[in-house]
Amino acid sequence: MAQARLHKGSDADLDGSQGVERRRNSSSTDTPADILTRLPAVVVLERIPVPTVAMARDGNILFANTAFAEMVGYPQDRLAGAEFPQIFNADPAALTALSGVDALANMVVELEHCEGWTVRARMSKSALMRHDDPVVLVTFENLTERLWIDEA
């Protein structure tokens, strides 16, 4: 069975909104580590089954994976380009992407579901930690159902 290798150049060409990768066979000398190092970050983030958001320092959402889109009920393509405070239940003045993420790391935050109800989730610390990183990358653990049960 031939190994699959992602296209050279973009490494993975995603087919529109379907998110289908087109691959070609790799050489027999490619190790799994070689293939992994060529895998684009967006492909890896999309495959992670944990709700994940990448945003610019100004709070503009650059990428939200399918798990995050499902958690908040918005189409994935609608989240990209949105401002994080649009779905984050907090005072926008209190939220700049970097300081807001730092201040709220590992805390339960409230997100606005597209149907108007509140999603409560624990937000991680940013995976990109340097002050000169232009992107903030956080994950969320959906606690909504668990907290509803605990409050009942």
Residue 101 lies in a domain: yes
* Within a domain: 107: yes
Residue 16 is assigned to a structural domain of this protein:
no
Q: Is residue 92 part of a domain?
A: yes
Residue 36 lies in a domain: yes
Q: Which of 3-7, 48-52, 119-123 has the lowest mean pLDDT?
A: 3-7
Res 134: pLDDT: 86
Any domain includes 22: no
121: domain CATH number is: 3.30.450.20
Residue 126 domain-assigned? yes
Residue of higher predicted confidence among 24 and 31: 31
Range of the domain at 76: 32-142
Reported as a pLDDT band with limits 50, 70 and 90, residue 141 is very high
Three-state SS sequence of the chain = CCCEEECCCCCCEEEHHHCEEEEEECCCCCCHHHHHHHCCHHHHHHHCCCCEEEEECCCEEEEECHHHHHHHCCCHHHHCCCEHHHCECCCHHHCCHHHHHHHHCCEEEEEECCCCCEEEEEECCCCCCCCCCCEEEEEEEECHHHHHHHHC
Q: Is residue 94 part of a domain?
A: yes
Number of domains the chain contains:
1
